[in-house]
Amino acid sequence: MHNRPTKNNPKDDDAMTQAPATNANPTKADSQTAHAGKPTKAMMLKWLHDMQLIREFENRT
């Protein structure tokens, strides 16, 4: 088996999928630890919370 950056070799994969310099929040820890395309638990919780606030606001108006 050759040492390729695939799912079998997560360390190489992480190096390739590091947050690019064009990232909106390059200093945030989330952008450093999250895999490309996979939001962290904190990001998901924030999104769910935001959606809940939007629903409550829409119900009031």
Render pLDDT for 8-59 as a digit per residue (tens, 0 to 9).
Answer: 655 555 555 555 555 555 555 555 555 567 778 899 999 999 999 999 999 9
Continuous segment of H or E residues that includes residue 52: helix 41-60
How many distinct structural domains can be found in the chain?
Answer: 1
Q: Which domain holds residue 39?
A: 35-61
Task: Examine residue 55 and state whether it is found in any structural domain, yes or no.
Answer: yes
Task: Examine residue 49 and state whether it is found in any structural domain, yes or no.
Answer: yes
> How many whole angstroms separate alpha carbon 20 and alpha carbon 38?
15
Contact indicator for 28, 42 with CB cutoff of 8 Å: no
pTM of the predicted model, to two decimals? 0.35
> How many whole angstroms separate alpha carbon 40 and alpha carbon 5?
22
Confidence of residue 61 (pLDDT cuts 50, 70, 90): confident
Tell me what pLDDT residue 37 has: 73
Tell me what pLDDT residue 44 has: 92
